[in-house]
Each structure stands twice: as structure tokens, then as C-alpha cells.
Amino acid sequence: MFRSDDYNEFGGYCDSDVNSGSDRESIEEGSCYVNIKYKAQGRKFLAELASQRKNGEFLDVVVQVEGSEFPCHRAVLACTPYFKTMLSSNFTESTSKAVQLHGIDPSSFSKILDFLYTGEICIGKDDVQDVLQTAHMLQCEKILQYCQKFIQDNLCPDNCLGVLRLTDMYGDLSDLKKSARTMTVSNFSEATKDEEFLSLSLEDLLDLLGDKDLKAEDDVVNSVMRWLDHAPESRQTAILKILPEIRLSCVKVSVLRKLESHPAIRDSAECLAKITAAREKHLLGTHVEKEEARSNRCGVSDKLAIIVGGWKAVNKPHLRINGESEPLSVHPSPGPLQSIICLDPDNQQYYHIANLPTPVNGYMSVANAREHLYVTGGRENRLIGKGPYPSPSRQAFRYHFPSDKWLRLPDMPLGRAGHQSVVVDGKLFLTGGDAEEKPLVTMDCYDPEEAAWIKLPVPPTLFTQSSTKLTMTAFGDKVVFITVTPTELERLFNLCVHLFNVKTNGWRKADTFLGNAWAEVPDVFLPSSANGKLYIRAVYTATSHYSEQYIFDDETQTITSERSDDKQCFIDDLLCAQREYYYFSTKGKEIVDNISNYGSGNNYCPKKCAPLPFALFGQSFLDIQKSLVGWYCRDLAALEEENE
């Protein structure tokens, strides 16, 4: 129940007893007068009028509403702008003993009339819309506020579409309309299950479908088909206007096939051709055209985070001893992950992609070549204790994402684990990691056209010191090695970019001093290329408080520095693993239990995505493009969260 003085300036409802002290008298004395303020008089006056109405005393007008009569006082009715205008001398109702109202609910009018006399009203889910309609007609602003607040507090995916249509009837509920629309768009699949959706006009439907904040394009298509089926005779031609609002490049093949078979599509050669073309693009792995990419909805990413292998672990809290935090052991759960999983950043959901075709469980490397994933090397067992450890694996596989099929490749020249891999010009390149026989740094290359491995020379200056940190990445038609090595000067390091041209087998090099003294060798962090330039960030990972950005210009073969701090970032929508360190046995290993999205404008701080269903270590990570890998060709099963 709401009282007229319960709605405070902050939009909340407070107990009217709080202000009971305001009933006391206030006396101001002057030399010639005494000013007395007795605030309880107003309440007593309202109580007296309510008593007169109850007893039928001094009533001078009857309001007739749909067969019901409400005797009351003109003076009380005139408290509202609607009745004040009606009862003025310019209208016949000013002298009439009865006033008729049409198009409103008698029960709602009764509640509003009670409110005018008592300042109290009871609003429920069953009658809030009727009360709102009546209050809007009678221009009772305070009750409109109460109704809007009540609806806002009870807004949910099941009723948001109905609320959205309700607000279209009134021009003064803009805040409620905004909230209802946001909830409808954010929960489109649930919201469109309501019967209100089926009765939407074509104009209202197009307005919703045109919202750039919609994300689940598959749900959009399924909802559109339900809307068409609700009145097939009158809505069949509407598909010509609806289809341009659907981002076909983001609809899965299975849903496109359903859409192709819909009667409204079969009767339109133009629509059928567009849908068939979109389906074939997915199956052929054709990249989304720039025009389509620009029309993508807000917040929809073409990125996909791939996680390969590893072992599940149970995260346990840190134990505090003498005020200091000591990490507890992390115990692997029974069995490895033994699969490829992924995170779709659009819906923050993890999916199972495929099982690994090998007993190798972790420390593998994964690279992407359009619809293919290359999975190489690794170890069968996790690294715990001091060793000795079994030799790294020489196995190599190529996985075709759209067809869910594996191909065993010839064994690698060397077994590798924890190594790096990239694909340039269709060829797979490997380097680094724990290799058999501990050779000098080498680079192996697999040519799919020859179905063979090729050993390539590596400059002797590439990896000369044990403390060197190396990152390999693709840069146009070149394989790039980025190294950070100590110099002869204390606490100063050298950043070097080695480029291997895949077409000419030639090497080039550029280097520069890091512009700051570091406590230890910094990491090369997430290199990214654009406009013929390679952007490199050197980060002191011990604190992450300081970093520098370096730009390699391929045309001038120079490296320039650009000072930055932890609020700057050159990476746009790139997914990477956010690591937490635990200790088990005598050796520290990385445990990954969530994925972070580095790409919110210029914020360097990671935006955390959905936590993994389980903690992991020994896994491989890769971010790829949905439109190239064949993401839309398959319907993947979502991973359930494991409570260990």
C-alpha cells in the first residue's frame, strides 16, 4: 500500500510514521503577531472529508463509471487537473449533479478516489495496468509515479514486451519504456515466447529487429518464423521487409535451412537466393564482406576463444597464516580435459567442440588456418615434481571445424611441448618449447601441399641466452619472432624483431633498447598487426603496473616506442587467458579458471568474461574468427558447470 507522502525524493517508499513529529505545533512570536503552524490540521481535514463521504454528508456530486456510482465532494475531485477543468464554470458538469466517465475501470476509479481522500492506494499485479490507465486519464501524477515504480520493480523477461507495448500508449513513461526495451532486447528469446509478441504489428516488429543491441541472431530468425506462422495469410509478404533486418551472416546453417523451407521464403525467389547464399558462405568458409561486417549489431564479436586440452583442477582458497596468505595445494580432478572447448563472447557461454584423437593431454600448441585447427606436440602427463619427464610428443593433427573431422599428419621432426605455432601462407610453423634432445632453437614447417615437414634455418642470434623470452606471431606473409634479451648494461634489455619471409625464405631484423629499466626480463604481450605495422607491448608481469608499446613499421624496418600505462591498450577485442598462479608439489604451474576480454575501448584492464566450468592447467589457447573457422556450420553443445 502506498501513501501520498511515502514517495520520497529518491524514488523510494518510506514509512509515514517516520514523519510523525511533523504534527507538532510551531509557534513564532513577533512584537505584533503570533504565527502558529499546526501541520496535523491538513490530515485532520482529509480525515473529516473521508468520514463525511462514508456517512453520506455534504456530498454534492456523483461520479458515474460504467454503471457504478461514487458520491463525493466537488472540492476533492477538483484536486486533480482533469476534474478541476471539468468542474469549472465553462462546462456543463460545473452545475450538474452527476458526472459520467467512460472507458475506465470502476474498480480503479474507486481506488483513485480513495487515494484523493486518504492518501493511500493499494496496487497489485492484477490491476496495475487499469490503475495506470485511469490515473493517466485523470492526470494523477503521483499515482502514475507509483504505478511506474511498481511495474519497474516487477519487470521481467516474461512481461517486458507487454510493458513495452503499454508504454507506447502513454507519452510520459519514457524511463519505463527504456527499461522494458532493454530487457526485451537483452532477453529476446524469452521475451518473444510471450503471446504479446505474436500480436505485434509489422512496424513494431521491424523496430525491434532493427535494434543494434540484439545479439542472438538465431533466436531472431526463430522468433520471426513464429510471428509469420501466427497469421500466415496476412503476413506472408512481410518477409520482404523483415529479411533486410536479419544479419544472415551471423545465423547458423541449421537455422538457415529451417528458414529456407518456410513457406514465406519459398514463395519469394529473392529472399530464398539471399538465404541460400549466406548458407553457402558458411559452408565454404567465405569471409564476411565488409558491408555485412559493418552492419553487425553492437557487442557482437567475430572472435572465438579456443582452449585445447589440459588438466582439470580444483581451486582451493588461500590459507592465512600469521596474517599472510599461503597458497594451498591444487589437486587435479580425475582425468584430463581431453577435448577442445571454446568461449563465445557474445553469450558468455562455453561449448564442447571435439574430443582429442590422441592420449596427449596438455602442453600442446594450436594454430588456425581458416576452417582448420592444427594441434601439435604436447605431453601425455602433467609436469609434477622434479622429473624426469617423458619425451614430448611428435604427433600432429589437423582438425576440420565444419565437418568435425581429424586428419593425422606426419610426425614432427622433433617432439615439442609448450611450443608456439602459427600459420602463414597456408603453411604451419613451429618453434620453441621443450624439445627433444634440447637442440638449438629451430623452426619446423609443415607444407600441406607436399604433406611433409620442412626444416628451416634460424639465425644464430635469434635465441642466444637462456633468459631470452620469445614470442612468435604471423605478420602478413611473414613469420615474426619477437625476443627480449638482456644487454651488457645492468637492468636494460633489447627488443628485437626477426622476420622470416615465407615466399623468399629470407630473414630481416630490427631491434631497439627498451626505454626503461626493468626489474626482470619483461614479457612480450599480445602482439597485434594493422595497417602494415606490428604493435608490440612489453609488460612487467610481476606487477602489471608498467608497460611500453612498440611499433614496428615494415616499410621503414624501424621500431619506435610509445610510453603507456595500465590504462592504455592498443588491442581491439582480443581474447586472452587470464592466469592465476598456484603451487602444487615443488613446481609452480599456471592455472586458468577464466577468460578475459582485452578490448573495451582504451581500457587496459581486462574485462572478465564467464568463468570456466572448471579450473585448468596445461591447456593451449587461441583466438580465432567465427566467420572463417566454420562456427556457423555447427550446433555445439554447451558445457555444464562442474561443482567440485
pLDDT tens per residue across span 382-400:
887 666 778 899 999 999 9
Residue-wise pLDDT tens digits, 320-341: 555 555 555 555 555 788 999 9
Q: Is 109 or 5 the better-scoring residue by pLDDT?
A: 109
- Least confident piece of the model among 50-59, 536-545, 620-629: 536-545
Find residue 374's DSSP bridge partners.
367, 398
Find residue 591's DSSP bridge partners.
580
Residue-wise pLDDT tens digits, 221-243: 999 999 999 999 999 899 999 99
Query: Are 165 and 193 within 8 A, CB to CB?
Result: no
Query: Are 59 and 53 within 8 A, CB to CB?
Result: yes
Q: What is the pTM of this model?
A: 0.77
pLDDT of residue 463: 56
Q: Is 440 or 189 the better-scoring residue by pLDDT?
A: 189
Residue-wise pLDDT tens digits, 408-467: 999 999 899 999 999 999 999 998 888 766 655 778 999 999 999 987 877 766 655 555
Measured in degrees and rounded to the nearest 5, phi and psi for residue 285 equal 75, 30
For the chain, the first-to-last Cα distance in angstroms comes to 46
Separation of alpha carbons 199 and 238, rounded Å: 14
pLDDT of residue 608: 52
Mean pLDDT of 103-122: 94
Separation of alpha carbons 32 and 41, rounded Å: 24
| Beta strand residue intervals within 522-643, DSSP E | 523-530, 533-539, 546-553, 558-565, 574-584, 587-598, 607-617, 620-625, 637-638
Cell of 330: 591444487
**DSSP helix/strand/coil, 604:** coil
CA neighbours within 13 Å on the CB side: how many for 238?
Answer: 20
* Closest listed residue to residue 3, CA positions, set 142, 109, 102: 142
Separation of alpha carbons 600 and 393, rounded Å: 39
**Which secondary-structure segment (H or E) carries 183?**
helix 174-186
Domains for the chain: give ranges and CATH numbers.
2-154 (3.30.710.10), 200-294 (1.25.40.420), 303-638 (2.120.10.80)
pLDDT of residue 15: 36
* Closest listed residue to residue 309, CA positions, set 395, 429, 242, 437: 395
Residue 527, pLDDT > 90, answer: no
Q: Calculate the alpha carbon distances from 544 to 6, 60, 402, 522, 564 in Å.
A: 50, 78, 39, 10, 12
